[in-house]
Chains A and B, each alone.
Chain A
Amino acid sequence: MVGQRARVVSGIRRLNKTIEVFRPLQVVPIDFRFPGDVSECFGLQVTVVGRFPMDSPVIPAFGEYSLEFEGKKIHPVNFIVPWVNQEIFSDETQHRPDLLPLAVQIGNSRMITGFYHDLNRQQIGVIPIVDRRELSVFQPYNVRFTFHCYRT
Protein backbone atom coordinates (compact mmCIF):
# COMPACT_ATOMS: atom_id res chain seq x y z
CA MET A 1 0.00 0.00 0.00
CA VAL A 2 1.24 3.46 -0.83
CA GLY A 3 2.84 5.29 2.05
CA GLN A 4 3.22 2.22 4.19
CA ARG A 5 6.64 1.63 5.68
CA ALA A 6 8.02 -0.29 8.60
CA ARG A 7 9.18 2.72 10.58
CA VAL A 8 7.50 5.89 11.71
CA VAL A 9 9.29 9.03 10.59
CA SER A 10 9.02 12.51 11.98
CA GLY A 11 8.07 14.47 8.92
CA ILE A 12 7.23 14.01 5.27
CA ARG A 13 6.52 16.53 2.55
CA ARG A 14 4.54 15.55 -0.49
CA LEU A 15 5.36 18.01 -3.24
CA ASN A 16 3.34 18.33 -6.41
CA LYS A 17 4.50 19.62 -9.74
CA THR A 18 1.98 19.83 -12.58
CA ILE A 19 2.88 20.31 -16.23
CA GLU A 20 0.63 20.92 -19.21
CA VAL A 21 0.74 19.08 -22.54
CA PHE A 22 -0.79 20.84 -25.54
CA ARG A 23 0.43 18.93 -28.59
CA PRO A 24 0.96 15.32 -29.62
CA LEU A 25 4.55 14.16 -29.18
CA GLN A 26 5.33 17.31 -27.23
CA VAL A 27 8.40 17.29 -25.01
CA VAL A 28 7.75 19.38 -21.90
CA PRO A 29 10.84 20.43 -19.95
CA ILE A 30 10.77 20.03 -16.19
CA ASP A 31 12.78 22.48 -14.15
CA PHE A 32 12.11 23.38 -10.57
CA ARG A 33 13.69 23.43 -7.14
CA PHE A 34 12.89 21.54 -3.95
CA PRO A 35 12.20 23.67 -0.86
CA GLY A 36 14.88 23.97 1.80
CA ASP A 37 13.36 21.61 4.36
CA VAL A 38 13.63 18.50 2.19
CA SER A 39 16.46 16.05 2.88
CA GLU A 40 15.61 13.00 0.81
CA CYS A 41 13.18 12.06 -1.93
CA PHE A 42 12.06 8.50 -1.28
CA GLY A 43 9.29 8.07 -3.80
CA LEU A 44 7.46 9.39 -6.81
CA GLN A 45 3.96 9.07 -8.23
CA VAL A 46 3.11 10.34 -11.70
CA THR A 47 -0.41 10.54 -13.07
CA VAL A 48 -1.97 11.74 -16.29
CA VAL A 49 -4.79 14.14 -15.47
CA GLY A 50 -7.32 14.18 -18.26
CA ARG A 51 -10.43 12.49 -19.57
CA PHE A 52 -10.37 11.08 -23.09
CA PRO A 53 -13.08 9.23 -25.01
CA MET A 54 -11.39 5.84 -25.04
CA ASP A 55 -12.71 2.31 -24.82
CA SER A 56 -9.57 0.95 -23.21
CA PRO A 57 -9.45 0.80 -19.44
CA VAL A 58 -5.77 1.64 -19.45
CA ILE A 59 -3.10 2.84 -21.89
CA PRO A 60 0.08 1.48 -20.28
CA ALA A 61 2.54 3.84 -21.98
CA PHE A 62 0.73 7.12 -22.47
CA GLY A 63 3.85 9.22 -21.94
CA GLU A 64 7.39 8.89 -20.70
CA TYR A 65 9.54 11.01 -18.47
CA SER A 66 13.07 11.43 -17.26
CA LEU A 67 14.20 13.21 -14.10
CA GLU A 68 17.59 14.33 -12.86
CA PHE A 69 18.42 15.51 -9.38
CA GLU A 70 21.18 17.62 -7.90
CA GLY A 71 21.85 19.69 -10.98
CA LYS A 72 21.91 16.64 -13.29
CA LYS A 73 24.41 14.75 -11.13
CA ILE A 74 21.91 12.03 -10.23
CA HIS A 75 19.73 10.47 -12.89
CA PRO A 76 17.60 7.91 -11.08
CA VAL A 77 14.49 7.60 -13.18
CA ASN A 78 13.37 7.10 -16.77
CA PHE A 79 9.87 5.72 -16.79
CA ILE A 80 6.49 5.60 -18.49
CA VAL A 81 3.17 7.03 -17.35
CA PRO A 82 -0.08 5.15 -17.96
CA TRP A 83 -3.45 6.68 -18.55
CA VAL A 84 -6.23 5.03 -16.57
CA ASN A 85 -9.91 5.27 -17.36
CA GLN A 86 -11.45 5.93 -13.97
CA GLU A 87 -14.95 5.02 -15.11
CA ILE A 88 -14.45 1.50 -16.40
CA PHE A 89 -11.28 0.25 -14.78
CA SER A 90 -12.13 -2.18 -12.02
CA ASP A 91 -8.75 -3.43 -10.87
CA GLU A 92 -8.27 -2.48 -7.25
CA THR A 93 -4.80 -1.08 -7.62
CA GLN A 94 -5.34 1.25 -10.51
CA HIS A 95 -7.20 3.99 -8.75
CA ARG A 96 -4.14 4.61 -6.60
CA PRO A 97 -0.87 4.43 -8.47
CA ASP A 98 1.92 2.84 -6.52
CA LEU A 99 4.93 4.73 -5.33
CA LEU A 100 7.98 4.41 -7.53
CA PRO A 101 10.75 4.05 -4.95
CA LEU A 102 13.63 6.50 -5.10
CA ALA A 103 16.31 7.11 -2.51
CA VAL A 104 17.85 10.38 -3.55
CA GLN A 105 19.62 12.42 -0.91
CA ILE A 106 19.00 16.10 -1.51
CA GLY A 107 22.19 18.11 -1.12
CA ASN A 108 23.06 21.71 -1.82
CA SER A 109 21.65 21.83 -5.30
CA ARG A 110 17.92 21.34 -5.08
CA MET A 111 17.30 21.45 -8.78
CA ILE A 112 15.07 18.87 -10.44
CA THR A 113 15.37 18.82 -14.20
CA GLY A 114 14.16 16.56 -16.95
CA PHE A 115 11.31 16.21 -19.39
CA TYR A 116 7.96 14.60 -20.09
CA HIS A 117 7.34 13.24 -23.58
CA ASP A 118 3.85 12.66 -24.94
CA LEU A 119 3.71 9.40 -26.92
CA ASN A 120 0.65 10.35 -28.98
CA ARG A 121 -1.53 7.56 -27.63
CA GLN A 122 -4.80 9.44 -27.45
CA GLN A 123 -6.03 7.70 -30.60
CA ILE A 124 -5.48 4.22 -29.17
CA GLY A 125 -8.77 2.58 -28.34
CA VAL A 126 -10.85 5.58 -29.32
CA ILE A 127 -14.59 5.06 -29.24
CA PRO A 128 -15.78 5.12 -32.89
CA ILE A 129 -17.45 8.35 -33.84
CA VAL A 130 -19.18 9.48 -37.00
CA ASP A 131 -17.20 12.63 -37.64
CA ARG A 132 -13.68 11.52 -38.56
CA ARG A 133 -12.35 15.04 -38.11
CA GLU A 134 -12.76 14.65 -34.38
CA LEU A 135 -10.23 11.82 -34.35
CA SER A 136 -7.42 14.21 -35.09
CA VAL A 137 -8.23 16.56 -32.23
CA PHE A 138 -5.64 16.36 -29.52
CA GLN A 139 -7.00 17.05 -26.09
CA PRO A 140 -4.60 18.99 -23.88
CA TYR A 141 -3.97 17.40 -20.51
CA ASN A 142 -1.88 17.71 -17.37
CA VAL A 143 0.69 15.42 -15.85
CA ARG A 144 1.12 15.58 -12.12
CA PHE A 145 4.35 14.56 -10.39
CA THR A 146 4.08 13.92 -6.65
CA PHE A 147 7.42 13.73 -4.86
CA HIS A 148 7.41 12.06 -1.44
CA CYS A 149 10.24 13.54 0.62
CA TYR A 150 11.58 13.38 4.15
CA ARG A 151 11.88 16.66 5.98
CA THR A 152 15.22 17.67 7.47
Chain B
Amino acid sequence: MKDHKFQLIRIGVGGSGTSVRYTGETDKSYRRIRGIFVALPDPILEYGATLSLKVGGTDVFDDDHDVRLLTCGQGVAPNQKFFLFEEFIEASGNAFEGRFRDAGIQGATYPYEAKVFLWLVNEQGS
Protein backbone atom coordinates (compact mmCIF):
# COMPACT_ATOMS: atom_id res chain seq x y z
CA MET B 1 0.00 0.00 0.00
CA LYS B 2 1.27 3.46 -0.80
CA ASP B 3 1.97 5.84 2.08
CA HIS B 4 1.70 9.29 0.57
CA LYS B 5 -0.40 11.05 -1.99
CA PHE B 6 -0.68 14.71 -2.92
CA GLN B 7 -4.22 15.24 -4.12
CA LEU B 8 -4.82 18.31 -6.25
CA ILE B 9 -8.01 20.38 -6.19
CA ARG B 10 -8.30 22.91 -9.00
CA ILE B 11 -10.43 25.98 -8.36
CA GLY B 12 -11.15 28.22 -11.32
CA VAL B 13 -11.53 31.89 -10.40
CA GLY B 14 -13.24 33.87 -13.12
CA GLY B 15 -13.15 37.45 -11.89
CA SER B 16 -12.32 39.97 -9.24
CA GLY B 17 -13.94 39.30 -5.89
CA THR B 18 -15.34 35.96 -6.99
CA SER B 19 -16.35 33.36 -4.44
CA VAL B 20 -16.04 29.79 -5.73
CA ARG B 21 -17.42 26.73 -4.00
CA TYR B 22 -15.53 23.47 -4.40
CA THR B 23 -16.39 19.92 -3.43
CA GLY B 24 -14.86 16.49 -3.78
CA GLU B 25 -13.78 13.33 -2.07
CA THR B 26 -10.44 12.33 -0.70
CA ASP B 27 -8.72 9.31 -2.17
CA LYS B 28 -10.16 6.30 -0.36
CA SER B 29 -6.79 4.52 -0.33
CA TYR B 30 -5.41 6.91 2.29
CA ARG B 31 -6.46 7.23 5.89
CA ARG B 32 -5.51 10.69 6.96
CA ILE B 33 -5.20 14.23 5.65
CA ARG B 34 -1.79 15.25 6.94
CA GLY B 35 -1.51 18.73 5.50
CA ILE B 36 -2.66 21.34 3.03
CA PHE B 37 -0.94 23.80 0.72
CA VAL B 38 -2.53 26.48 -1.44
CA ALA B 39 -0.74 27.79 -4.54
CA LEU B 40 -1.83 30.94 -6.32
CA PRO B 41 -0.26 32.09 -9.61
CA ASP B 42 0.65 35.58 -8.39
CA PRO B 43 1.70 36.69 -4.87
CA ILE B 44 -0.56 39.75 -5.00
CA LEU B 45 -3.55 37.40 -5.07
CA GLU B 46 -2.61 36.35 -1.54
CA TYR B 47 -3.65 39.70 -0.07
CA GLY B 48 -6.93 38.94 1.63
CA ALA B 49 -7.85 35.74 -0.23
CA THR B 50 -9.63 33.24 2.00
CA LEU B 51 -10.33 29.53 1.91
CA SER B 52 -12.78 27.55 3.98
CA LEU B 53 -12.65 23.77 4.30
CA LYS B 54 -15.00 21.23 5.76
CA VAL B 55 -14.15 17.52 5.78
CA GLY B 56 -16.81 14.97 6.60
CA GLY B 57 -19.07 17.73 7.85
CA THR B 58 -16.52 19.08 10.34
CA ASP B 59 -15.08 22.55 9.99
CA VAL B 60 -11.34 22.54 9.44
CA PHE B 61 -11.05 26.18 8.40
CA ASP B 62 -13.96 28.54 8.81
CA ASP B 63 -15.02 31.15 6.26
CA ASP B 64 -12.46 33.85 6.91
CA HIS B 65 -9.34 31.70 6.92
CA ASP B 66 -6.51 33.58 5.26
CA VAL B 67 -4.83 31.80 2.35
CA ARG B 68 -1.57 33.37 3.49
CA LEU B 69 -1.61 30.99 6.45
CA LEU B 70 -1.74 28.05 4.07
CA THR B 71 0.84 29.08 1.52
CA CYS B 72 4.49 30.08 1.54
CA GLY B 73 7.25 31.55 -0.57
CA GLN B 74 8.78 29.98 -3.62
CA GLY B 75 12.05 29.31 -1.82
CA VAL B 76 10.47 26.78 0.50
CA ALA B 77 11.28 23.14 -0.16
CA PRO B 78 8.33 21.02 -1.32
CA ASN B 79 8.20 18.99 1.88
CA GLN B 80 8.11 22.16 3.97
CA LYS B 81 5.36 23.91 2.06
CA PHE B 82 2.45 22.22 3.77
CA PHE B 83 0.46 23.44 6.73
CA LEU B 84 0.36 20.30 8.87
CA PHE B 85 -2.77 19.24 10.73
CA GLU B 86 -1.98 18.06 14.22
CA GLU B 87 -5.48 16.69 14.63
CA PHE B 88 -6.54 13.50 12.93
CA ILE B 89 -8.63 14.31 9.86
CA GLU B 90 -9.92 11.19 8.23
CA ALA B 91 -9.44 10.88 4.49
CA SER B 92 -10.64 7.39 3.40
CA GLY B 93 -12.94 8.73 0.73
CA ASN B 94 -14.43 11.36 3.02
CA ALA B 95 -16.28 14.19 1.30
CA PHE B 96 -14.80 17.66 1.51
CA GLU B 97 -16.23 21.02 0.60
CA GLY B 98 -15.24 24.61 0.91
CA ARG B 99 -15.17 28.01 -0.64
CA PHE B 100 -12.33 30.06 -2.10
CA ARG B 101 -12.84 33.81 -2.09
CA ASP B 102 -10.78 36.16 -4.21
CA ALA B 103 -10.08 39.50 -2.52
CA GLY B 104 -10.40 41.64 -5.65
CA ILE B 105 -6.92 43.14 -5.50
CA GLN B 106 -6.13 45.82 -8.07
CA GLY B 107 -3.59 44.70 -10.62
CA ALA B 108 -4.48 41.02 -10.49
CA THR B 109 -5.05 39.11 -13.72
CA TYR B 110 -8.18 37.05 -14.34
CA PRO B 111 -9.13 34.30 -14.81
CA TYR B 112 -6.72 32.18 -12.82
CA GLU B 113 -6.61 28.82 -11.15
CA ALA B 114 -6.08 28.34 -7.43
CA LYS B 115 -4.50 25.00 -6.64
CA VAL B 116 -5.18 23.32 -3.32
CA PHE B 117 -3.00 20.33 -2.47
CA LEU B 118 -4.03 17.83 0.18
CA TRP B 119 -1.26 15.67 1.62
CA LEU B 120 -2.76 12.25 2.26
CA VAL B 121 -0.98 9.58 4.29
CA ASN B 122 -1.68 6.12 5.57
CA GLU B 123 0.10 6.07 8.88
CA GLN B 124 -1.93 7.70 11.62
CA GLY B 125 0.97 9.25 13.45
CA SER B 126 3.01 10.54 10.55
Residues of A bordering B, CB below 8 Å: 1-5, 7-18, 45, 47, 49-51, 86-87, 89-97, 142, 144, 146
Contacts and interface: CB of A to CB of B under 8 A. Distances in A.
A148 B68 CA distance: 15
A86 B68 contact: yes
Contact of B73 (A12, A47, A94): A94
A130 B33 CA distance: 52
Given A49-B48, A96-B72, A3 B62 contact: no
Nearest to B52: A16
A141 B48 CA distance: 10
Give chain B's interface secondary structure class.
loop
Contact of A16 (B60, B64, B88, B106): B64
20 contacts: A1-B82, A1-B84, A2-B83, A3-B83, A3-B86, A4-B86, A8-B125, A9-B86, A9-B88, A11-B87, A13-B59, A47-B68, A49-B48, A86-B43, A86-B46, A86-B47, A87-B43, A87-B44, A92-B73, A146-B69
A3 B48 contact: no
B62 A15 contact: yes
A96 B71 contact: yes
A53 B55 CA distance: 38
